[in-house]
Structure 1
């Protein structure tokens, strides 16, 4: 079974890129996780950038993103970056 990553923050995207480097697993991220210019530098890698932000958004937005990912990767395990709580 394949794995797909959902990165919500810039740090999460960096971690997902490292984890996926050896497997080629697809990565999806919000528009706020990477600039358009930096995203273009990832050409050839399996990274998809939503046109809307994910960080700090309500669960409904994240759920919609997950539904889109499920449409493109049916049956895949989706790993979602968890938000860090307040100390």
Structure 2
């Protein structure tokens, strides 16, 4: 299983879960700064160099394709947030 975090909050939750399981975690550039990511070298975290937006299905599809290339046949858990009331 691979975690794909979209927000900083989701990333923190994914990292907590992954710490227990040793599973890889991926995120967008908007979930963690480059500096904080660099400080986590060797932690199993991968960071896209672009932001992920849950409304941008093309970008998410590209991110999922990249993860599939690195982790073939793995289930990907994608962070989602409840829809905001309009």
Q: State the TM-score bracket (shorter-chain normalisation).
A: over 0.9
The structure carrying a bigger helix percent of its residues is 2
Match runs of 1:1-87 below 5 Å: 3-87=1-85
Distance in structure 1 (CA, Å) of the matches to 2:63 and 2:27? 9
With normalisation by structure 2, the TM-score equals: 0.93
Aligned residue-pair number = 85
5+ residue gaps, structure 2, are none
**How far apart are 1:58 and its partner, in Å?**
1.1
Could you say what secondary structure the match of 1:5 adopts? strand
Could you say what secondary structure the match of 1:17 adopts? helix
Could you say what secondary structure the match of 1:14 adopts? helix
Stretch of structure 1 that moved more, 60-69 or 77-86: 77-86
**How far apart are 1:57 and its partner, in Å?**
4.8
Alignment deviations for residues 10-51 of structure 1 (CA, whole Å, 9 cap, x no partner):
001000000000111000000000001111121111000000
CA RMSD of aligned residues (A): 1.1
